[in-house]
Amino acid sequence: MPGRSLRMSELPRIHVVGIEPEGPDPDRPPLSTLLGACRLLCGGRRHLEGLSGRISPGSRILPVTTNVPEVVEALKEFLRRGEEGVAVVLATGDPLYHGIGGPIAREIPRGHLAFYPATTLVQRAFSLLGEAWEGAQVASIHGKKEEPALGPGRWIFYTNGPKGPEMLVDMAFRQRLRIMEMIVLEEIGLPEQRVTTFDKVVVEEIRSREFRTLNMVVMTLDQ
């Protein structure tokens, strides 16, 4: 079957833009070219700060929290209305790597979509540790109903907030695994960035700690 080229009128109308932890830069591509044509802007509240003045008056701003189905439906409605301009979704890191890009790509035809990845938090975390990560296993407990099946080795987790480290400790114990080392990386790339290493994990200590909402956890697990 011969290939098919897109005409200008068929170029994507929904742009999912990866953002570094430090925040969006509206003066650099792709945002510098997209925001002026944006009619629907979706993203975390932290990402949306300061961008409302860069889009046209009357454009819709939709904060992204745990409302991913609502965001997907808003994008579908944007396409159905056939309005001029584009929709922009902001997401930390690579939107297609444990991010909102997956649900969007499953529901919207790819001809309407363009993706722009940024550095993932996994990459940023291991860069802070100065550690090669090609052998690490990646899992997420952010918004997941079922916990991942764990095993021995080096792991890094996307968590779901301040209680994420505690949840992971409980999860490892339930699955009869020993935690040889645990590192909590908080607010990666932000002024409050903090890296805490626990060579010996004491459940009571983890539960008594007040971790920040944005955190990743690296663990070494054994039988």
Q: What percent of the chain has pLDDT over 70?
A: 95
- Confidence (pLDDT) at 11: 65
Residue 162 confidence (pLDDT) above 90:
yes
> pLDDT tens digits, residue range 204-223?
999 999 999 999 999 999 99
Report strand pairing: 38-43 vs 113-116.
Answer: unpaired
Query: The pTM is what?
Result: 0.85
The radius of gyration of the chain from alpha carbons, rounded to an integer in Å, stands at: 20
Fold of 122-222: 3.30.950
- Spatial contact of 72 and 108, defined as CB atoms under 8 Å apart: yes
The C-alpha angle 94, 155, 215, rounded to 5 degrees, equals: 60
The CATH code of domain 8-119 reads 3.40.1010.10
In the chain, what are the domain boundaries? 8-119, 122-222
- Confidence (pLDDT) at 64: 95
> pLDDT tens digits, residue range 36-66?
999 999 999 989 988 988 998 889 999 999 8
Residue 14 backbone phi and psi in degrees, to 5 = -120, 125
| Average pLDDT, integer, range 100-113 | 96
